[in-house]
Homo-oligomer: A and B are copies of this chain.
Amino acid sequence: MMASPKVKPVPEASLRRLPSYLHLLRRLHAGGRELVSCTHIAESLDLNPTQVRKDLAYTGIVGRPRIGYPIRALIASVEHFLGWDNTTDAFLVGAGSLGRALLGYAGFQRYNLNIVAAFDVDPERIGTHWRGKPILDVDELPDLAGRMHVHLGVLTVPADAAQDAAHLLVLSGLKAIWNFTGVALEVPREVLVEDVDLGASLAVLSNRLAQRLRSAEEEESERHVGGHGA
């Protein structure tokens, strides 16, 4: 007996757009507006209206032709679909600079994400607090995960400790890992991993910037020679 064999997963690209809709919808709602159309959302966010309509349909909302969607219900629908309608508790592993940053980051409230504790191996860190959150010995993690019913781990250890730490999270029964290490983790299929890869993001920007700086130079030297096109 397999778990929901027919449900085809929502495209990742669609999921990734939902938070930006949510952000806009909350602003509109705060501004007192009650209805919104895909056309309006699409224009605000510079997207294709059909794409917005499909994305929203995934959350289960049904709109009314000529009218659009009730904003209140739409917000609720998106939040529920993302599991952001209830607080999600999480453990953070690796209380280095990046880890402490996320530990102190107030912005996670928006997603109803609550990091309840951090774990580390460094005796200097263990037993201390950071922004009101305890930093505990990583050896306590397996036991606490079970007792506190925590399913989500935020992984911020150094790259060379990443795979071992991931293994520990799996053994501790966590079901999802938000991976900031930049390392491709090997975990069982039933454990979810989502990578936040700063290197990947920076690569896009760096390449495009380097390209432009190069072609700007080229253009400059061409101007001196008397350019004959590319």
Contact = CB atoms under 8 A, between A and B. Distances in A.
B203 A82 contact: yes
A209 B17 contact: no
Interface stretch (A62-70, A95-103, A118-126, A133-141): A95-103
A230 interface: yes
Given A4-B218, A20-B184, A198-B196, A88 B206 contact: yes
- A interface secondary structure, majority: helix
Contact of A106 (B19, B20, B97, B216): B97
Contact of A194 (B1, B16, B97, B202): B202
A175 B16 contact: no
A63 B191 CA distance: 37
A144 interface: no
A225 interface: no
A5 B202 contact: no
Interface of A: 1, 3-7, 9-10, 12, 15-20, 22-23, 45-46, 81-84, 88, 97-98, 100-102, 104-107, 110-111, 113, 131, 151-152, 159, 175-176, 178, 182-184, 192, 194-213, 215-216, 218-219, 227, 230
Given A19-B199, A97-B101, 17 more contacts: A3-B215, A4-B230, A6-B230, A15-B203, A15-B207, A16-B203, A19-B200, A20-B197, A23-B159, A23-B183, A23-B199, A45-B184, A97-B104, A111-B202, A152-B205, A152-B209, A194-B202
